[in-house]
Amino acid sequence: MKIKRQINSFLNQQKELFGNELFTYSLNKSTKKKTLLNRESYALEKYENSINLCQECSLGKTRNNFVFGSGDYNADLMLIGDVPGVNEDSQGVPFMGREGKLLDRILSAIGKNRRSDVYLANILKCYIPQNRNPLFSEISKCESYLFKQIEFINPKVILAFGRISGKVLLNMDLPLEKLRENVHDFKGIPLRVTYHPASLLRNPDFKKETWKDFKWANTFLKN
């Protein structure tokens, strides 16, 4: 009876803290991850709320939604694109539409999904009308938001999608094929540049190489 009372008291205490979600305290990896998740999610959401009305460049006036990022706040793998597209702008979430579906399929092939295994973000947080390339002035005003996000997520590995993402993160103005040749270092985090999912829709031939990069990231995380 004493044990039953202790269990009831523990569960009531948990309910007060976390509502109906049950957290256990065994020292396994997933529990530690959940505890961290709460702390990280609160800090990152707070940060998002502090910047989501940004008007630092003219894109703030034309966006429909600020596209901050989405996924697992405690992810080991972070995926970084360049600019939100029209679908992202309308939904406020990165990598939507056909390119998002393709990305979901690639992730599924390595046993991951966008909600619980990876974190997705872009260099810029606002859509660019007519899909032109971002200006240096826009990137320089926005990039610090991404750098802060990376600090919060603190992934074990980063995949950067496309030449612009690689150029901003690595400060290297090289063709994508050259950037893809090596594993780079972003503030101590291994980073590989690969093709953007949108470019895979235009050039299916790039899928094979992209697949190699995702497999590399997955193998890296398993070792």
Which positions touch ligand SF4 (CB under 6 A)?
54-57, 59-60, 124-126, 138, 141-142
Closer residue to ligand SF4, CB minimum distance, 116 or 140: 140
Closer residue to ligand SF4, CB minimum distance, 31 or 50: 50
Shortest distance, position 189 Cβ to ligand SF4, whole Å: 22
122/92 Cα distance (integer angstroms): 12
Cβ neighbours of residue 118 closer than 8 Å, sequence gap 6 or more: 71, 72, 75, 77, 78, 79, 107, 112
CA nearest neighbour of 100 among 91, 219, 18: 91
Shortest distance, position 44 Cβ to ligand SF4, whole Å: 16
Closer residue to ligand SF4, CB minimum distance, 90 or 218: 90
The answer to whether residues 184 and 190 touch, using CB atoms and an 8 Å cutoff, is yes
User: Which tokens belong to 35?
Assistant: 């505890």
Closer residue to ligand SF4, CB minimum distance, 57 or 189: 57
Shortest distance, position 200 Cβ to ligand SF4, whole Å: 25
